[in-house]
Each structure stands twice: as C-alpha cells, then as structure tokens.
Structure 1
Amino acid sequence: MSRLSFGSVALPVFALFAFTLTAAAEEAQLDEIAVAAESTSGQAAGPFASAGYVNGLTGTGGALRVVDAASAGTITGAQLNSRPVTRAGEVLEAVPGLIVTQHSGEGKANQFFLRGFNLDHGTDIAIDVDGMPVNMRTNAHAQGYADINFLIPELVGAVEFHKGPYFARDGDFASAGSVRIDYLDSVEKNLAQLSLGSFGYKRALSIASTPLGEGRLLVAGEAQTYDGPWDVPDRLGKLNGVIRYSQGTQADGFSLTGMAYWAKWNATNQIPERAVSEGIIGRYGTLNPTDGGNSGRFSLSGRWSQTDETGITRASAYVIRYQMNLFNDFTYFLNDPINGDQFHQRDQRILGGGEVAHIFQGSLFGLSMENEIGVQTRTDSIRVGLFNTASRQYLSTVLDDRVLEASAAFYFENRVKWTDWLRTSIGFRADGYYADVVSDTPANSGKARDGIVNPKLGLVLGPWFDTEIFVNYGGGFHSNDARGVTATVDPQSPLFTLNRSPFLVPSTGYEVGIRNRSIAGLETSLSLFRLDFASENLFAGDTGTTEPSRPTRRIGVEWTNRYAVTSWLSLEGDLTITNARFTDADPVGNRVPEAPTTIASAGFTLGQGLGWFGSMRLRYFGPRPLIEDNSVRSKPTALVNGRVGYNFDNGMSLALDVLNLTNAKADQITYFYESRLPGEPVAGIADKHFHPVEPTAVRLTLAGRF
C-alpha cells in the first residue's frame, strides 16, 4: 500500500526528467502508423534494435482511434530494445510507470508493479503477445500468472499500452492496465547475435526472413544459459523458437505463427533478513537449495484482416499448450518441522480462443463516426495440483484438481469526432464466465457461473496550442481462481469450512489527463487517476485456501515525458505517485501491503545509424508498507543500467552493457511474514524476506546483419 508522500519525490532519482522520442504511431491513421513505426525502428541504438518493422502494428485500428487517454501510448520495437536489461521481461519497463522484477529463479514469471498495485505475477495487468493472452487464470501459483519469459525482445515490432479499465477491448486482468505486444512479420536484414556476460550468461539469437510465394517467411531461434550470482547457481537453460508466414498488411492480410519455448532452472527465493544478519547464509545464499522449476509453452495462432468500403474486419485465433512445475519453500520449517515446507505446484493446460471484430467507418449528420463491435472467447482445460515435497520428492497431496473454465465477451464502442476539438467514445463490455471444477476433495467440486457488464466512456478536448485534455471512465474486473469459487472446505483440514470467493471482482476507474506537444520534439503528459476495487476473497495457490481481502482505493498522479532533442539524442523521464488505501475500517490498519508510493525512471539514448551509440537508464522503486499499519516498510531500490557500442559499416555491431552500474545493495522485492528456521519457536518469527538485486554485471554482444 502506499502513502501519497510528496516529500519522497525530491530524491536524486529525478535528476530527472530526461525525456525520449514519442512514437509517432499515436498520431495518425493505420497506414501512417505503420510508416512511422518503420522509420523509427531504424533510429534505435545498438544491436538489440529491431531490424525493421514491416507490416505490423498493434491496436484496434480505425481513423478515429488516435490517442485514447493521456496514459495510453505506443512504443516501437526499436525504443523497447534500446534499453539495457537484466532479463527479457524488463523490456516492458518501457511502459511508463511499470516495474518488472523477479523474486525467484529466472524461469519463473516476473513480478509486476503499476499505479500503486503489487500486481503479483499479473493479477491486474493483462498482457497479450501476438493476439494470445499471456495471463493464466486458475493457475497453480497465482491468479493471472503471466509468464513472459518466452518473449524475444528483438522480434517486437510495437507495444500498445493502456492504463485503467477504460477500453472496451480489454477484459479480464486489465484493471490497472493492459499491454499488447506485436511481433514482426519480417526483418529488413537477417540477424545473428551472440552475447556473453558475468555469472555464466550466454545467449545466442538468430532471426531471418525471406519471400515465400506471395508472402514472407520469418524464422527465429534463441538459446540461453545463466547461473546468476547465487551460491546455488540458477543453471537456467532456455530454448525458444518462432516461425511465421504472412501475407499483406495488418489492415489487409493474414499470418500463421508457431511458437515453442522450454526452460528449466534452480531458484534462490526470497530469504529472511535474520538468516543473513546472523551469518547463517550470505546475501546470495539459500535455505533450500532444491527450489526451482521448469516450464514449456507451445502455440499456434493466426490472424486475418480485410478492409473494404464499410471499414475493417479482423479475426484471430490461437491454441496454446502450457505446463509448469514450481518447487518453492518460503517458510522453511514453520508447517513441517521434520521435512520442511517445500511444495510443488503443477499446472498443465490447453487453452484456445479467438476474437472477431469489425470497425464500421461512416458518418453521423456529416460528422466522422466509427462503431466497433467485437466478440472474444477463451476456454482453458486445466489440471492443477499442489503437493508437499522434500528436496523435490513427493510427500503428500494437498490438491489435484481438474478445471474447465470458459468465457465469452461482447464489446461495442462508438467514436465520434464532433468538431476539430471534440471527440467522444462511448461503449460497453459484457463478459460471461463458466467453470466446472472436479476436485480430489469432493466437497470442493462444483460448477460456477458469473457475468458482468461494464461501461466505457472517453472524452478528448483539443488540440489547443498543441494541447489535448482527456477524460476517461470505465468499469473493469478480474476473475478469481475457479477453485476458490467452488471450494467449501480446507483441503488440508476438511473439518474447517471456507468462504467462497466471488468469481468476478469489479473495479471502477476514473482519469483526467493532459498532453502537450508545444515544444518541438517534446511530448509531456500528466494524468490524475483513481481506481476502486470491490471487496474480495482471493484463492492462494501456495496454500490451497481462500484468503479474505478488503475494498481498496488508489488515487495517484502520473507524469510522463519524451523528448527528441536531436536526431541522435533522445531523453525520457517518468514519475508516478500513488496513494493506496483500504476503504473499510479495520483495527489492523488501512495500508495496502506492497503497494508502491513512488515509481520513477529517467534515461537517454545516443546514436543513430553508423558509429557510436549509447544508452543509460535509472529506475527508482520507492519504499512500500509491508503490513497494514505501516510499521514495517521496505527500502527503496534505485538501479542504473548503461550501454555503449559501435555500429560498423559492414553490418556488424558490438555493444557492452553494464547492469547495476553503481553496484547498489538493494532488493528486487521485499515481503514481511512468519517463517521458522531450525531451533526457532514453533510459531515462527515475523521477519522481512527479500530477494537481492544482482551485483554489477557486464554483457558483451556481437551482432551481424546480412
């Protein structure tokens, strides 16, 4: 939870407000967006820049969908890849105000923070890659678990982001925001790349495309290993591949894409501060060297679109096979003083779905108007389990359930340009959910249904003096784990009854924003937002039970700046301050644990074309209350990453990344809860548990384009 503390903003972090080039993609119609994105992609510095954005863009399209809100935007693949990052998921920190971190082994889903939310592994941020949802509902570890480790950043053509539940196309998990990632259809030049770095980091990547028939064939492959600084090496092994055939453009064309991903790793999870201060383990040590996991993801997807005199029709479909095994031990000997508290979470599923939509372009009394109608479906067939283990060896079963979960949604949005200075959007979204749970605890089996209808409203005033004003309102929701919706007894103690979770938990968002471009090359936006969440019960995958939560309200301000100073220098700076509170009265306190008050970033990018290039990023993750009364707080984390390199005229490039340049002894994540070490009281000890930031590391990348 987080306190609105303006004093904390005056941190040096914010030597700030450096700013970087805004994507021209937000300013034009569909064909103009593609041209702008393609031209921008060539400007990013270094071997990690996308090799060209050809016939690809995100978004719903439509001439009137220009900018939805002051907090919405588009990022080109080149801008995304200009950032030196520790792990693939961190490239999404190009979305202003988004923190992407890790509290476990490198193959586990990232932890996300945005707008005063600890989003866990994705509960209230919807992530989509190439038309496929990444969030996993009724997941073994966390509701909305978004494993983005299969992302190949160099393949990203563009990223469209929205914040808040204001947009009719966004449904489950999108209350805090949504991120839609589009892959390239082809590359201008083939890419071969090799990276070597500290702590056993090795990565090889190849991307190639060629004409085939009337279209293009793109093939990409990635292999990576990494140990990390941990006393027990991560020994991450990752293989990743993409193959795509496409014809035409996104406005008129189609593509078929296959993806395959596999990874395994050891994990050094968060550790108690007392274990380090007492010398039991070091800062990079572990209390259970057998934690870790593996995961795999295989998908086949397709998209089709056509433009005619009535507008644009688009359709997409996908099928995904996903499996995950996690072995975690967070409390050590609190629950089982003999064997320890390690548990195994297993998730195996096949999911499929799709979307069909049409944008009718026309007029109303001579005014430009669009009507967008869409239908979305998704079905998950899941086997999900929770087992007690010791050194990854089976001890007993807590849960072993089979779940069929299906949903369908209909959305409509009307957009009208009333005058040169007034645009409106009015719409709604209706979602229906069904689940059938077959549990190994018969009392927890059952069927559930739920539905929700949410309004979506937007108003844009301007531009006046290169300034626009945005007003947004909308309802949203996230689904809860279906097992918590049907469960009636504690699976570990069947004599204890449980409160059932609501299936769909509503949210309501409000936002007023302003965006200004009166200074050549500079785009600055300021947003004031509020987001309310209803009371809810949450299913905890780590225990197999439901845990009560309370209604919350977040009020905040977000300031985003992008400045193209010259053709070879761009600056950026972002700041988000959020006040997060429980809105009911409770003696334990009204702070929302883990909700960040302040998130900020600043950076610059140098270089274009041949010759030297460079980039530097500062990311600040402010202190957070760890319990409701705010008596225990985390420390802030400020990290600096840098890059310098050279592009040769023969198509080769060499880059050196320095990660955690200042060697900050900070934490990726901090929690406060009870755990027990050998010899400690049976009830355990409440303590901070942290996952440290990796020390300074260097990575050298050689890339060739041909």
Structure 2
Amino acid sequence: MTIETSRTSQIGIADSANSGIVTQKQLEARTVYRAGELLEATPGMIVSQHSGEGKANQFYLRGFNLDHGTDFRTTVDGMLVNQRSHGHGQGWTDVNFLIPELTTRLEYKKGPYYASEGDFASAGASSVVYADKLAAGIASIGIGQNGYRRTLLADSPAVGNGHLLYALELFHNDGPFVMPDNYRRTNGVLRYSEGTEANGFNVSAMAYRARWQATDQIPQRAVDSGALSRFGFIDPTDGGESHRYSLSTAWRKTGDSSATRANAYVLHNQLDLYSNFTYFNDDPVNGDQFNQPDRRTTFGANLSHTWETKLLGRQSENTVGLQLQNDNIFNGLHNTVSRQRLSTTRTDHIVEGSAGIYVENNTRWSEKFRTVAGIRSDFYRFDVRSDNPVNSGKSNDSIVSPKLSLIFGPWAKTEYYVNLGNGFHSNDARGTTITIDPKSGDPVDRVSPLVRAKGMELGVRSEFVPGLQTSLAVYRLDFDSELLFVGDAGTTEASRPSRRYGFEFNNYYKPTKWLTVDADIAFARARFRDADPVGNRIPGAVEGVGSVAVAVDNIGPYFGALQLRYFGPRPLIEDNSVRSHSTTTLNGRIGYKINPKMRIELEGYNLLNRKASAIDYYYESRLPGESAAVNDVHFHPIESRSFRATLVMNY
C-alpha cells in the first residue's frame, strides 16, 4: 500500500531531531484564533496573550517564558521581527502583520546549534516564508461572535516577465471582554517577483497599522470577591496603536554545485503603548499607568554562499554568511493617567549596530555518517543618548559561537543526532550604559551586552513505520544570565544564570490520504544555577506542554480538524510556593467545498468553554480602596467559546 504524505521528509536532510518544515497544506489545516498562533506549528510552542490583541504575543518554548520574544528568533522572508532595545521588552516580536494565506511554509529550529541563527535563537528560531505567487486568487469574508470581522483579497497576476502579488486584509475583533478590545488592523502586501525560488528575485512592500483597547491581566482577589468578572478591567484607558512599514528585496542564484542567497530590507516600526499592571500601588491618587513609546528605523542585509567541494576525498559542502543590522531607536517611559502624560521617567535615543559572520561545513564521511561543523562571530556596538547624561554612553562587545552536529544513519529509515553548540542573546542597550536607576535614583550595575548560552542535545528521527514521522530530542541549555519580565516596568531585565533540561517527542502520522494526526509532547525542568535564599525556580518557566491535532480532507466535499492543546502549570515565584494552573483548550473547524473554487468554513474556539488562564503572574499590586499593596496572582483569561464563519472564493 502506498501512503501519501504532505510533510516533507527530513531523513538525510535535517541536522537534528528538533528542526523541520511545516508545509502550506499543514498550516491551512490549523485553527488559529490570532495570527501569532501560526507559530504554534513549531512543536512544543505555546502562543498566548496577556493584553489587547494588537500587542505582541507571549511565547513559551523549551522551559522558557519567552515574554514577547526573548530567545526565540523570528524572521519573515529574511527580515528579523525581534526588536532590540525595545521600549516594552528585549526582543519584542509583533507578528500581528502576518497573513496566513500568503505563507508557503514555516521552517523551525531549536537550540543554539545552527551557525546561520544569531541573536535571540538559543531557545529556537522560526522562519516564515511568503509566496511569490499564489495558485489562485483569494477573496475571503469572515464574520463571528465578539465583533469578529475579516476581509481578505489577494492575487498574483502575471506582469511582464514575472508576477505581481497583492494582498489587502481588513480585520476587527472585540474579544469577550467587558471593555471590548476594538482591535482594528489594516494590512497590505505588494510583491513583484521573477524566476523561481532557486533562481530569481522579488521586491516587496508591506504595510500594517493597528489600534486597540486593552484589558491587561487582572488580580485573582478581585475576581474571587466578585468585584470583577473574569473579563473585567481595572484601567479603561490601557491599549495602544502601532504600525510597521517595510521595503525588502531578495535574490537567489543556484548552479550545479553552488548557491547564493541575498536579501536586504528597511523597516519602520512605531508603537505607542499604555499599560497599568499595579493599578494604584505607586501613585494612590493618579494610578500607575505608564506609556512606552518606541519608534525605530531598521536596516538589515543577509548574504550567504554555498559551494560543493571535496574534503579528504569526501563529499563536502561549505557555506559562508554575513548578516548586518542597524537600528535607529527613539523610546521612553512616561507616567500617565488616562493616556495624559504626568511625568517622564526617561527618554533615550539609541543607535545599535551588529555584524555577524559565520562559516559552516557539511561533510558526508561515509554512507552512514556525516558532520556539520560551524563557527559564528558577532560584533555589537551600542550608542545610548539618554535624557540623563549619566546614563548615556557607548559600549561594544563581541562573541564567538562554535557549533557541531554529528549525524548517524539512516538505518531502517532512522537517523541519530548529537548536537553541541554555543549561542547568545543581546541585552537592552540602555542596560549596558546605565549608572542610575531613572525611577528610584539608586545606583545600578550595568549588564553584559552579549550573554552566552551553551547547549547539548541527543536526538533520533524515524520514518520506519509507513506514514509516520517521529522524532525525540533530549537537551540541556545553560544561560549565563536569564532575561525576566518585570511587572511594574513592563520590560525585561537581566537576572541570574540558569539551566534547563528537557525532552520533546513529536509525531506526524498520515495513515490514509484523508486523515492526518499530529501529536506532540514536551517537558522541561528550569532552574537558576546560583544559590539564593529566595529559591531557584524561574518564574513563568513552562514545564509540560502537549497537543493532539486531527485533520480530515478529501472526504467528498467535507473537511475539518480538531486540536487539543495542553499548557501545563508553571512556578510563579522563585520558591515555587505559588504556581499557575494548567490550561487545556479544544479548537475545531468544519468545512464544505461548494465547488472547486468556493468553500465555507466554521471555526470554533475553546469548544469546552474552559475558564482558564492564558497567562499568570505573581506580583504586588494595589486596587482602589485598598490601604496597602497585596501580593497576588494576576491573570489574563482565555477567550470564552466562540465561533467564526468564513466564505472563501478562488478566482
């Protein structure tokens, strides 16, 4: 019997058990509430939200609460999404501009084992690749509960020697909250391309704008007392607006024994964010709302060249690469009430530049053994001009990261992997020059500009069972300094050294042409490595996650899917005395193909209507009427059960 598969085989291709490619067909089968959940196609990844929908998502992977993107590198068509020295947190990753229908594939890697992946990639990296041309034009209209409205128009007609792809998305959603999110986004893409993915080029322009209200996390005590509903709010003026504009180009040339890839881009991002996490703790009269504006222009370029050669008479492949980026950043922190500025804590102009160069060799020493050896060198420079001269200054740092992978097999369609490597994450430029805390006025220590990570991993990948692709990875990852979220400032700060052990077990099974099953489970043990009386747990570090997704297609005109997702409990404080609850959700979709060019879909979210948290924190806050601050769990609820219907027409 011949088994049809829609996932690309990685036997003989992948360098570890933790990397893979998710195809467009697989992505289309997923039921996603928000655009960022597209990244949950990375096995073991959890994507959630703790505020209004326009804000960057929360990410969890491999024992990390990655906050808004620290230590998980995300690129879209080669453009880095993580924003350095951001007003609201290092590595800020806002993927709300993604249009799922344009995504041809998602490539993921985990661990610091890949020479081509630099800053933020120690826990993992994902690369989203947009289409140069569409198989057919798309006109999509969606409507649903809680104010959901979405319209998409996209096509790629032939123009000259190539294709002109265009896409326009209009989106609105309120969510189930007492104060509606009123999230409005306008999203557009225009791309001209010629040639193929192997030999060709494209030039792209993207534009995204959004505005929203925000129901930030709320204290458990207010819900328990009946003062607030689970979907209630404290500060009705939290929220924000953002925009992202980009212009990029990519060029590819492939010969019989070599390949060259190049891309360059310019990005303009702006965020105006208002948050209030502690309510009336710092200012009992006006409240604790603060404003974090961030405006930046980013230039980036990536170049790589690969060629085949002989090494000691063996088949070998070499790659050299260069990655350049420069950010011109203006951001600040202001105390506000109802979005009106009361005072300024700090304002900064930051110029941050980096250059990374890497070399990698892939050699097949025998039919059953090959190696991938690489080394990467990164240089960073920081120039901070603060409103307080004592916090201004310049600094620079460099780091070298060696990598080695040993691949054995395949035997019986099974490969074995040993991966070793160093990686790093950069710290906020302001922390590298700081002298005085701008809020308290106390002296503070500067942070290391670049922080080393060290990883090791054993893995196995098998396709021995017809139709089944399975992988198992066991890993350890050490950081010289952890990045942790600070609730009252809404940012991240450098913390203690850490260590994580864990495993991931991933399975993709296609027993027939109409049924596919994805089943993934992961567990991590995260601890601080230094002794401290407060404890050694890492607040928010995810422990166990799992998901099972079943998709059916080619059953006459019908298709559908169900996805069960488990998000395990986490320690919320260093001594583990306060923990979050687990969250289990069930999403699904069912569709009917009216004809070859028209279909209708019904998607359901949180079908079991679970009353659980999307995220939990533990910190001190003060509500109106309270005489003193209270330590409490603060949570953002998952959305209540809701449904969306979409009509899709191809032309």
How high is the TM-score relative to the length of structure 1? 0.90
Question: 2:375 pairs with 403, 428, 435, which one?
Answer: 428
Matched, 1:205 2:152: yes
Deviates more, 1:243-252 or 1:507-516: 243-252
Select the structure with the greater relative contact order (CA < 8 A; seq sep ≥ 6): 1
Partner of 2:138: 191
Do the aligned partners of 1:437 and 1:446 also contact (CA within 8 Å) in 2?
yes
Do the aligned partners of 2:277 and 2:488 also contact (CA within 8 Å) in 1?
no
Separation in structure 2 between the aligned mates of residue 626 and residue 544 of structure 1, nearest angstrom:
16
Partner of 2:59: 112
Matched, 1:686 2:631: yes
Separation in structure 1 between the aligned mates of residue 301 and residue 556 of structure 2, nearest angstrom:
43
Separation in structure 2 between the aligned mates of residue 307 and residue 678 of structure 1, nearest angstrom:
65
Separation in structure 1 between the aligned mates of residue 102 and residue 556 of structure 2, nearest angstrom:
21
Do the aligned partners of 2:89 and 2:490 also contact (CA within 8 Å) in 1?
no
Do the aligned partners of 2:266 and 2:299 also contact (CA within 8 Å) in 1?
yes
**What's the secondary structure of 1:135's corresponding residue?**
coil
Residue type at the aligned position of 1:569:
L
CA deviations on 1:448-495 (whole Å, 9 max, x unpaired) are 10000000100110011111001101101110000011010011233x
Task: Give the deviation of 1:607 after TM superposition.
Answer: 0.7
Q: Percent identity at matched positions?
A: 51
Cα 1:224–1:512 shift into 2, 3 Å:
same
Residue type at the aligned position of 1:157:
T
Residue type at the aligned position of 1:337:
P
Residue type at the aligned position of 1:367:
R
Deviates more, 1:169-178 or 1:243-252: 243-252
Do the aligned partners of 1:113 and 1:119 also contact (CA within 8 Å) in 2?
yes
Do the aligned partners of 2:74 and 2:81 also contact (CA within 8 Å) in 1?
yes
Task: Give the deviation of 1:365 after TM superposition.
Answer: 3.9
Separation in structure 1 between the aligned mates of residue 485 and residue 633 of structure 2, nearest angstrom:
23
Alignment length (residue pairs): 649
**What's the secondary structure of 1:79's corresponding residue?**
helix
Partner of 1:380: 327
Residue type at the aligned position of 1:497:
P
Partner of 1:590: 536
Cα 1:23–1:318 shift into 2, 3 Å:
farther
Question: 1:474 pairs with 417, 421, 432, which one?
Answer: 421
Cα 1:21–1:339 shift into 2, 3 Å:
farther
| Superposed counterparts of 1:611-690, under 5 Å | 611-682=557-628, 684-690=629-635
Question: 1:510 pairs with 433, 438, 456, which one?
Answer: 456
Do the aligned partners of 1:591 and 1:628 also contact (CA within 8 Å) in 2?
yes
| Superposed counterparts of 1:478-557, under 5 Å | 478-494=425-441, 496-535=442-481, 543=489, 547=493, 549-557=495-503
Matched, 1:25 2:8: yes
Question: 2:294 pairs with 344, 347, 350, which one?
Answer: 347
Partner of 2:89: 142
Matched, 1:705 2:650: yes
Separation in structure 2 between the aligned mates of residue 680 and residue 343 of structure 1, nearest angstrom:
21
Do the aligned partners of 1:484 and 1:538 also contact (CA within 8 Å) in 2?
no
Residue type at the aligned position of 1:343:
F
**What's the secondary structure of 1:608's corresponding residue?**
strand
Task: Give the deviation of 1:544 after TM superposition.
Answer: 8.8
CA deviations on 1:610-650 (whole Å, 9 max, x unpaired) are 61001000010001110011110000000000100111224
Separation in structure 2 between the aligned mates of residue 175 and residue 436 of structure 1, nearest angstrom:
25
Separation in structure 1 between the aligned mates of residue 117 and residue 479 of structure 2, nearest angstrom:
17
Do the aligned partners of 1:305 and 1:313 also contact (CA within 8 Å) in 2?
yes
Residue type at the aligned position of 2:423:
G
Task: Give the deviation of 1:541 after TM superposition.
Answer: 9.3
Do the aligned partners of 1:502 and 1:537 also contact (CA within 8 Å) in 2?
no
Cα 1:21–1:264 shift into 2, 3 Å:
farther
Separation in structure 2 between the aligned mates of residue 161 and residue 187 of structure 1, nearest angstrom:
23
Task: Give the deviation of 1:381 after TM superposition.
Answer: 0.2
Do the aligned partners of 1:484 and 1:545 also contact (CA within 8 Å) in 2?
no
Task: Give the deviation of 1:68 after TM superposition.
Answer: 1.5
Separation in structure 1 between the aligned mates of residue 140 and residue 345 of structure 2, nearest angstrom:
45
Matched, 1:606 2:543: no
Task: Give the deviation of 1:548 after TM superposition.
Answer: 5.2
Partner of 1:81: 28
Separation in structure 2 between the aligned mates of residue 129 and residue 21 of structure 1, nearest angstrom:
29
Residue type at the aligned position of 1:659:
Y
Task: Give the deviation of 1:681 after TM superposition.
Answer: 3.2
Separation in structure 2 between the aligned mates of residue 569 and residue 600 of structure 1, nearest angstrom:
20
Separation in structure 2 between the aligned mates of residue 369 and residue 547 of structure 1, nearest angstrom:
43
Partner of 1:49: none
Cα 1:539–1:271 shift into 2, 3 Å:
closer
Question: 2:161 pairs with 178, 195, 214, which one?
Answer: 214
Residue type at the aligned position of 1:426:
A
Task: Give the deviation of 1:661 after TM superposition.
Answer: 0.4
Do the aligned partners of 1:21 and 1:572 also contact (CA within 8 Å) in 2?
no
| Superposed counterparts of 1:170-181, under 5 Å | 170-181=117-128
Cα 1:546–1:419 shift into 2, 3 Å:
closer
Structure 2: which 5+ residue stretches go unaligned? Answer: none
Structure 1: which 5+ residue stretches go unaligned? Answer: 1-19, 29-64
Do the aligned partners of 2:10 and 2:20 also contact (CA within 8 Å) in 1?
no
Do the aligned partners of 1:80 and 1:92 also contact (CA within 8 Å) in 2?
no
How high is the TM-score relative to the length of structure 2? 0.98
Do the aligned partners of 1:672 and 1:689 also contact (CA within 8 Å) in 2?
yes
CA deviations on 1:415-468 (whole Å, 9 max, x unpaired) are 001111111000100000001000001110000100000001001100111110
Matched, 1:695 2:634: no
Task: Give the deviation of 1:543 after TM superposition.
Answer: 3.1
Separation in structure 1 between the aligned mates of residue 595 and residue 387 of structure 2, nearest angstrom:
64
Matched, 1:370 2:317: yes
Cα 1:538–1:596 shift into 2, 3 Å:
closer
**What's the secondary structure of 2:127's corresponding residue?**
strand
Separation in structure 2 between the aligned mates of residue 547 and residue 260 of structure 1, nearest angstrom:
31
Task: Give the deviation of 1:540 after TM superposition.
Answer: 5.5
Task: Give the deviation of 1:360 after TM superposition.
Answer: 1.2
Separation in structure 1 between the aligned mates of residue 9 and residue 298 of structure 2, nearest angstrom:
32
Task: Give the deviation of 1:277 after TM superposition.
Answer: 1.1
Task: Give the deviation of 1:279 after TM superposition.
Answer: 1.6
CA deviations on 1:317-368 (whole Å, 9 max, x unpaired) are 0000000011000000000011000000000000011011100112224421
Partner of 1:43: none
CA deviations on 1:561-603 (whole Å, 9 max, x unpaired) are 0001100100010000111111111111111111111000001
Do the aligned partners of 2:564 and 2:585 also contact (CA within 8 Å) in 1?
yes
Task: Give the deviation of 1:206 after TM superposition.
Answer: 1.1
Cα 1:440–1:26 shift into 2, 3 Å:
farther
Do the aligned partners of 2:112 and 2:124 also contact (CA within 8 Å) in 1?
yes
CA deviations on 1:75-134 (whole Å, 9 max, x unpaired) are 012211211111111121111000000000000000000000000000010000011000
Separation in structure 2 between the aligned mates of residue 298 and residue 174 of structure 1, nearest angstrom:
24
Residue type at the aligned position of 2:163:
R
Residue type at the aligned position of 2:526:
A
Task: Give the deviation of 1:213 after TM superposition.
Answer: 1.0
Separation in structure 1 between the aligned mates of residue 30 and residue 596 of structure 2, nearest angstrom:
24
Separation in structure 2 between the aligned mates of residue 331 and residue 27 of structure 1, nearest angstrom:
48
Residue type at the aligned position of 2:354:
S
Matched, 1:463 2:410: yes
Separation in structure 2 between the aligned mates of residue 117 and residue 181 of structure 1, nearest angstrom:
21
Please give the root-mean-square deviation of Cα atoms over the aligned residues, in Å.
1.6
**What's the secondary structure of 1:78's corresponding residue?**
helix
Cα 1:23–1:180 shift into 2, 3 Å:
farther
Partner of 2:505: 559
Do the aligned partners of 1:381 and 1:404 also contact (CA within 8 Å) in 2?
yes
Separation in structure 2 between the aligned mates of residue 546 and residue 286 of structure 1, nearest angstrom:
24
Separation in structure 2 between the aligned mates of residue 597 and residue 261 of structure 1, nearest angstrom:
35
**What's the secondary structure of 1:437's corresponding residue?**
strand
